[in-house]
Amino acid sequence: MGDEIIVPDFSWNNQRLNWNERWMCAAIVAAARSSCLYIHTGAVIVKDKRELANGYNGPPPGFELSCSEFGFCEKRTNKRGIGRCIGNHAETNGLQQIDWQDKIGADIYSLFSPCYRCSKEIAQARLNKVYYLKKYTSTKEDEHPDLPLEYLRQAGIISIELEETPPITKTIETFFPDGLKCPEV
């Protein structure tokens, strides 16, 4: 993508975005920064109709290169001898930018439902709702696919799968022409 300016075609009858569309489109734009070769995702944390932070999956600050710059996924190839993912998840990257008091009662918008680890972090942060477009399927053999959402439910956090509306679809097509892909188990 380089330094070119992307101007999405937002021609959906000049209708104003509703709040869910606005925040999910922001999460899609955040995902465009992802350097992960496995899955691109982004998250936006919102409270009182104000964005507190956003995040995308990739290595933390200080890593000299990411998997996309190396050209291989360390988790799947072990070429550098680490053998594990060097990136943080989008939800984690977003949550780490916010003071703990400000997180309480906030909502998070993410392209995919959270994994189990992120579900625990969301519960610890005492968020109110989790909005997502697609259900994430864990690649861990011992993890039931419904475990992360069940964990959130037991923590009193509401999970809402949003439908793709024209503005969301256009934003996805702009940044991810092949669509959102959640790796299969």
Q: Which residues are catalytic?
A: 91
Q: Name the one residue in this structure whose structure tokens are 């509703």.
A: 18
In sequence order, the 6+-apart residues with CB closer than 8 A to the CB of 11 are: none
Can you point out the beta strands (E) in 63-117? 107-112
Helix (H) or strand (E) holding 54: strand 50-56
Tokens representing 21? 């569309």
| φ, ψ for residue 117, nearest 5 deg | -60, -45
Tokens representing 125? 């942060």
d(CA 29, CA 43): 9
What would the 3-class secondary structure string for 28-78 be?
Answer: HHHHCCCCCCCCCCEEEEEECCEEEEEEECECCCCCCCCHHHHCCCHHHHC
* Angle of CA points 9, 12, 13, to nearest 5°: 125
